[in-house]
Structures are given as C-alpha cells and as structure tokens.
Amino acid sequence: MNFYPLYETAPGAGTYQLGSVLIVAASTSAAVAVAAQSAPEGCRTGVWPYKAVAGLPDSVPPAEGESGQMYDVLAEPEGPTGTFSRSGQVFGSFGADASGMALSLERFFGYRLGLIPQGAKPAPAATPAPASSSGTTSAATPSGSGTTVSSGGSATPAG
C-alpha cells in the first residue's frame, strides 16, 4: 500500500502537514513506523493512504500485527491545502486494514483522510552524538540513496 507522512505542524498543535515522501508499506502501522523516523522533535506522526488509480481500493486483510490497531481520523475538508486535523472519527484494522476504509470514504466525503495511531506519542528529542576521541561532536544526519526501509515498508522521495 502507498502512504504519505503527516507530521504535526508544531508540538501539541493538533494540525498535521502532508509530507512529500512516498511510503510503500504492508500496513498502516508499518507506514507510521517509517514516517516516524523523520518526525520533527516533539511532533506526532500519521499517514495519508494514497491510491493513484480512480475507484475503490482493493480489500486488504490486516498484515501480521496490524489487526486490532485503532486510528484517529485526520481530515482535510477545506480541499487540498496539505493541512489535516482530527475529525472525531476512529477507524480500526479488523477485517481489513484501516487505510482501505480511509480511501473508500475519501470518495464519499470528497476530501482526503489521514490516520494517526490512537495515543500517538510525540517524536523524541534528538540525541547528540557522543564526543569522539579528538573532542569534536557531530550530529547524526540521514544518508543514503533516499530510500529507508523499516517495519516492512520503504520511503522514496516523490517526483
């Protein structure tokens, strides 16, 4: 399944900004785990399920570990602004992954829906790297070809 990350705009803000990195993951919780790796300090993370082709999503049974996961629904009712906020709805992954329900109801409501795990915790503060033997420190920075794999998913820059 395809997802895009949703990051809280500021710690405790309750509004979420749509990210630009496509995440391919086996489940909603796996996509959240991948997105959380790049979460701003103190901010919570959700995901927006994405399907490029028109029509309803395929029914996808919950992946191992996904069944029973509960998500607060984030909505973007003002149109494609990139800013989502809680809608008051809750979806669960029981007979199918909750992302399929979000995709289906997007067509009914006419606006995008995202998912954030219930009780999501803010991203931890960055930990500084330990001092080297020469007495200098360096901050950890992401590196590589732009692809991150974790929790059964991967992220690749959109483009």
pLDDT band for position 108 (cuts 50, 70, 90): confident
Q: What is the pLDDT of residue 82?
A: 81
Do 39 and 19 meet the contact criterion of CB atoms below 8 Å apart? Answer: no
pLDDT digit string, tens, across residues 51-65: 765 666 667 788 889
pTM (predicted TM-score): 0.70
Read off the pLDDT of each residue in 129-147 and give the average, rounded to a whole number.
36
User: In b/e form, how buried is each residue of 102-140, taking b as 16+ CB within 10 angstroms?
Assistant: bbbbbeeeebbbbbbbeebeebeeeeeeeeeeeeeeeee
